[in-house]
Amino acid sequence: MNKSNIVLIGFMGCGKSTIGRALSEKTGFRFMDTDQLIEHTAGMTIPHIFLKYGEQYFRMLEYKIIRAISENPHQIIATGGGIIKNPDNIQMLAQQGSIIYLKTSPEQIFSNIQYDETRPLLQGENKIEKIRLLLTERIPLYEKYQDYTVDVTNLSVEEVVDHILEL
């Protein structure tokens, strides 16, 4: 990788924030979590943003955050799972960053987030089916925009970090 940022994309619950923090510790790069930045900017949680203003407003905030941070060097950027829905986001992130798609199975995602009630797009019954449906829509976009894919299924955080650093 010859770009100065490492950008992590992938479905919710695949480990972007956890792996991003570990990468930051190992590289000394600044860790940026776009979802945390959105919550800080809005002064409310993402579920509250979705409830009060809707997904379109959330996506606008996401775009503004990406625009604000994408040109800064030496960052590990963990993105929200839907970042790929706006090609402008990826284009901005790709200018300074290598895009790493953290891929995992629907079953692993479900295992990671089955008790997490803070995911607006997975509210209600049958989370595994909602995960599969969203993945059907998003996997082609993750694959389209990635520079590298790392299958994180059944790997430890340390193994994933080492693999990314080898790239």
Segment 16-25, tens digit of pLDDT: 999 999 999 9
CATH number of the domain enclosing 41: 3.40.50.300
Structural domain boundaries enclosing 152? 5-166
- Tally the domains of the chain: 1
Taking the C-alpha atoms of residue 133 and residue 129, their distance in angstroms, rounded to an integer, is 6
Q: What is the pLDDT of residue 126?
A: 84
Residue 120 has pLDDT above 80, yes or no: no
Q: What is the pLDDT of residue 48?
A: 94
Q: What is the pLDDT of residue 2?
A: 62
Q: Return contacts of 14-17, CB within 8 angstroms, 24+ apart.
A: 14/81, 14/102, 14/103, 14/104, 14/108, 14/109, 14/112, 14/152, 15/102, 15/104, 15/112, 15/152, 15/157, 15/160, 16/78, 16/79, 16/81, 16/102, 17/78
**pLDDT, tens only, 28-54:** 999 999 999 999 999 999 999 999 999
